[in-house]
Structure 1
């Protein structure tokens, strides 16, 4: 019998919450420039998360410092009675000078750079922005810091779709080029239990309506 069979082991549990919806057009690249807040639907989604976690046991609550995540974390903070710890490493990928543009606008304004990016979606950095690889390394480093600070504890983390895709991809050994096939709704929850040797995906993109497992 293989020694690699995954037996139950002590684990650090991280529950990653995607922020609620904003009014920012979904066809545009992620934007730090506009930093949009939650819209009415997004506030409802965040409020639902707050009700879902109420009474659950978490050791800490971390959040990306952008408006949509901090606002979402506020509802969780009330439900969990925990202070929010902002961490810049949990921010969405920055696209630099392309932040807030549609792909068509980026192609029109930066034709040469856009072609380079399309030719190497993982390694190429948009002007002033992050490559996917650099972004993934930043996210993994940040989450490693959280895990080391909270060994064998359960921690809530409010972040964005990009970081959660990175974390799920790495935990499940999914190739980076397939990250966009991981679909996560606004106001959803994803849980990864990190043992000494690997991450176990417990649930993915759950839209909560019962007590958090």
Structure 2
């Protein structure tokens, strides 16, 4: 049985611009660094048996803040990457809608097998991405069989995992938030995932951030 602390990376400038990142390697902005430090501060009293991260810089930066002061190395797992969006990557949502209206509508409509236009890389369908994301997170729990692990990933991965754990199909509207640097707790019992708590951002409230700044 494993408790999984599933964490989205801290804020990037592209998050604030609503620019799609996908596999592009975008660093945290100043606020994202601050969020990551607050996250590490909030978790320092919790025992973690391992810390895993996507190989993209924004996730690795966030994971390193959790690892600070611990005798743990961040273990890189490329399967935790965000979805590959092909030609959508690097574009703002409004620009995607203007250039690729049909594909944009299919993406926003969560069509499982919709094919997005290729860019530098071939885009993943939602079905392909969801299978990879769930397989990566569950695979870590199965392979390592540790009591509590932190997994730092991306918004799309968090949505896949939450839907899987709640049995919420992709046709259902999303009724949960996916916040930068949020703490989301799940339990893996050897067969299924279950959400214990979702969307904890208490450590990102102003007084908590101020305490980190004073440190």
TM bucket, shorter chain? 0.7 to 0.9
Return the offset for 1:117: 4.8
Residue-pair matches, total: 199
Q: RMSD of the TM alignment (CA)?
A: 2.2
Q: Is 1:13 matched up with 2:3?
A: yes
Return the offset for 1:73: 0.7
Q: TM-score, normalised by structure 1?
A: 0.84
Instruction: Note if contact 1:50-1:79 (Cα within 8 Å) is conserved in structure 2.
Output: no
- Cα distance in 2 for residues equivalent to 1:111 and 1:50: 41
Return the offset for 1:26: 4.2
Cα gap change, 1:168 to 1:179, in 2 (>3 Å): farther
Q: 1:36 aligns with which of 6, 26, 51?
A: 26
Q: TM-score, normalised by structure 2?
A: 0.83
Question: Which residue is 1:7 aligned to?
Answer: none
Instruction: Note if contact 2:53-2:152 (Cα within 8 Å) is conserved in structure 1.
Output: yes
Q: Is 1:194 matched up with 2:188?
A: yes
- Cα distance in 1 for residues equivalent to 2:90 and 2:196: 33
Question: Which residue is 1:27 aligned to?
Answer: 18
Segments ≥4 residues shifted beyond 6 Å: none
- Cα distance in 1 for residues equivalent to 2:173 and 2:132: 16
**CA distances 1:65-113 after superposition (whole Å, capped 9, x unpaired):** 1111111111111143310111111011111111121344234434554
Q: Secondary structure at the match of 1:176?
A: coil
Unaligned runs of 5+ in 1: 1-10
Q: Is 1:90 matched up with 2:84?
A: no
Cα gap change, 1:20 to 1:75, in 2 (>3 Å): same
Q: 2:154 aligns with which of 160, 169, 172?
A: 160
Question: Which residue is 1:136 aligned to?
Answer: 130
Q: Secondary structure at the match of 1:80?
A: coil
Instruction: Note if contact 2:110-2:126 (Cα within 8 Å) is conserved in structure 1.
Output: no
Cα gap change, 1:112 to 1:208, in 2 (>3 Å): closer
Cα gap change, 1:15 to 1:130, in 2 (>3 Å): same
**CA distances 1:118-159 after superposition (whole Å, capped 9, x unpaired):** 676221121221111110000111112201122252111011
Cα gap change, 1:72 to 1:94, in 2 (>3 Å): same
Instruction: Note if contact 1:89-1:142 (Cα within 8 Å) is conserved in structure 2.
Output: yes
